[in-house]
Structure 1
Amino acid sequence: MNAWEPIAVEEPVARMEAFEVRRAAPHGAAPSTPIVFASPHSGRLYPADMMAAAALDAQSIRRSEDAYVDDLIAAGPELGVSLIAARFARAYIDLNREAFELDPGMFADELPEFARARTARVAAGLGAIARVVSEGQEIYARKLTFAEASTRIEGAHRPYHAALARLIAEAHAAHGFAILIDWHSMPAAAARTGGRERPCDVVLGDRFGAACAGVLPTRVERELESMGYRVARNTPYAGGYTTEHYGRPARRVHALQIEINRALYLDEASLAPTVGFADLKLRLEALTRTLADADWSGLKPS
């Protein structure tokens, strides 16, 4: 199988690792930097229970992936940055949503009150279990059950966030603060929003300053612009559940979402990497090295 193809898997979900963790230091040792990378949307495993209910094939559903973002940031652990990346597809369970952010209309049985989400994301078909992929294509041929949703949440969402929280806690314990960077990619069309004459290359989302101290997006922006990239802040993406949930500057946990324009590295029609992939990966490695070596004294406890 080509390394870039989606993988439909028959193995029971309970026997599969829902994510991969690559620590910058051996387990139990203090991480050398306060930085943690996360890639919640780059998974490409499509479990059999999902595909049995789907109206689309795995290749079609792949349009919801942040394809290859985990590969773009793979150098992180070599540079002192711990990394967690999803293995299950975003459409199976979206790890950048609250666990029970569910659409009642997708389910055959009545959801518990706590799972009847009324968010804009659910209304758009993009809750914790997505209803649609790009261009509004319906993913499922039938309604799901709450038991199926619970299996995905307990088997993937909860353990992923438990592992991410541990990585952040380890960084915080070692350095007195932690920096989480949540990596994503955006459709080229989204990069043109906001009345821009030219599309942006990268969008930095800090929840309009609520998720991290200003020095973090400012430094990232400066480094990216020095590489020639056009950078925007918070429009059209200000940060999702991960940024909002973990970003607690008052507790010295700083979270920043980074969205990369797919036109830089991906053919969005075929979902194959373009010639720009290798160059972008090298530049993100350079960015990672700069952040790992940076003086973050302004974030340290006084």
Structure 2
Amino acid sequence: MDFKFKAGSIPLLVSMPHVGTDIPDELAARMTPAAAEKADTDWHLAQLYGFLEQMGASTLAARWSRYVIDLNRPPENTNLYPGQDTTGLCPVDTFHRQPLYAGGYQPDQQEALRRLPLYWEPYHRQLRAELERMLALHGTVVLWDAHSIASRVPRFFEGKLPDLNFGTADGSSCDYGLRAAVVESALAQQRYTVAVNGRFKGGHITRHYGQPKSGVHAIQLEMCQSTYMDESAPFGYRADLAQQVQPLLATMTRAAADWARR
């Protein structure tokens, strides 16, 4: 399978497009040791969000590494942040500008078009199908796009990133009531710093599927990995840190589902 999926019973779907670590052998043979490290993976999110099954949420998690194809980029590879540096649909380097491919093997547009039906479209077909199923059942649904990133990536932002970064495409991907219900919980605590529509406003999934008038309300959460794991290889999960942030994640995702029910 190209993803791990579990259908739930409440109006909440949590998407994890960057947790995948698999790279097909034919591509791995052309890649560098930096690619094999897979440092830009959204590590351990399925474990961090392990409470979702008991909550009754639907979950969709990628199998393929973002180095194969980025599920959170538009298929036509337009830049979601015009004027700012970002990695593309088929990345050619890491967040720290390390080449992913040996000389002469960088994917061109033709290669990107080859990979779309193989690795990109299956995830999005499942995402669309689950949203349609949930809409038929509930009328209103929340799509929560879950991400994490190293707290310091000079290529993309100065200094340390806030711990919790919410994106709603500047308010267009969800009703303000959903944003308020989720962010209110985040602002009520003092352990973690919070930003809304800052450096991260939501990627392709949030912007494309978030259609409030059609009943789908999308919100992205980009978390600093320092809140739950070691940010250097081998990128270990830190249960002592994770158990501090998990109750807040549970409160926020439950608030999102409760808002959809109302």
For the aligned pair, the TM-score class normalised by the smaller chain equals 0.7 to 0.9
Residue 201 of structure 2 is aligned to residue 238 of structure 1: yes
2:138 aligned partner: 175
TM-score, normalized by length of structure 2? 0.87
C-alpha distance 33-53 of structure 1, shift in aligned 2 (>3 A): same
C-alpha distance 118-149 of structure 1, shift in aligned 2 (>3 A): same
Q: Which runs of 5+ in 2 are unaligned?
A: none
From 175, 178, 181, the counterpart of 1:216: 178
1:277 aligned partner: 242
TM-score, normalized by length of structure 1? 0.76
Q: Provide the rounded CA distance (Å) in 2 between the counterparts of 1:156 and 1:122.
A: 28
Instruction: State, as a whole percentage, how many aligned pairs show the same letter.
Output: 27
Residue 65 of structure 2 is aligned to residue 89 of structure 1: yes
- CA-CA distance at 1:250 after TM superposition: 1.4
Q: Provide the rounded CA distance (Å) in 2 between the counterparts of 1:263 and 1:165.
A: 32
Q: Which runs of 5+ in 1 are unaligned?
A: 1-16, 25-31, 102-116
From 74, 78, 85, the counterpart of 1:98: 74
Deviation string, structure 1 residues 99-120 (Cα, Å, up to 9, x no partner): 242xxxxxxxxxxxxxxx5765
- CA-CA distance at 1:190 after TM superposition: 5.4
C-alpha distance 226-59 of structure 1, shift in aligned 2 (>3 A): farther
1:258 aligned partner: 221
Check conservation: 1:46, 1:58, Cα contact below 8 A: no
1:113 aligned partner: none
Deviation string, structure 1 residues 111-137 (Cα, Å, up to 9, x no partner): xxxxxx576589846111101102111
Q: Provide the rounded CA distance (Å) in 1 between the counterparts of 2:7 and 2:73.
A: 24
Where 1:153 maps in the other structure, the secondary structure is helix
Q: Provide the rounded CA distance (Å) in 1 between the counterparts of 2:215 and 2:34.
A: 43
Q: Provide the rounded CA distance (Å) in 2 between the counterparts of 1:284 and 1:118.
A: 29
- CA-CA distance at 1:257 after TM superposition: 0.6
- CA-CA distance at 1:230 after TM superposition: 2.0
Check conservation: 1:20, 1:87, Cα contact below 8 A: yes
C-alpha distance 199-53 of structure 1, shift in aligned 2 (>3 A): closer
In the TM superposition, 1:138-149 aligns within 5 A as 138-141=99-102, 142-144=105-107, 148-149=111-112
- CA-CA distance at 1:54 after TM superposition: 0.6
C-alpha distance 119-38 of structure 1, shift in aligned 2 (>3 A): closer
1:202 aligned partner: 164
Deviation string, structure 1 residues 117-163 (Cα, Å, up to 9, x no partner): 57658984611110110211110112336564344311221111010
Check conservation: 2:18, 2:65, Cα contact below 8 A: yes
From 92, 102, 109, the counterpart of 1:131: 92
- Is the radius of gyration larger for structure 1 or structure 2? 1
The amino acid that maps onto 1:262 is Q
Higher relative contact order (CA 8 A, sep 6+): 2
Where 1:63 maps in the other structure, the secondary structure is coil
Q: Provide the rounded CA distance (Å) in 2 between the counterparts of 1:203 and 1:145.
A: 32
1:48 aligned partner: 25
Q: Provide the rounded CA distance (Å) in 2 between the counterparts of 1:199 and 1:92.
A: 26
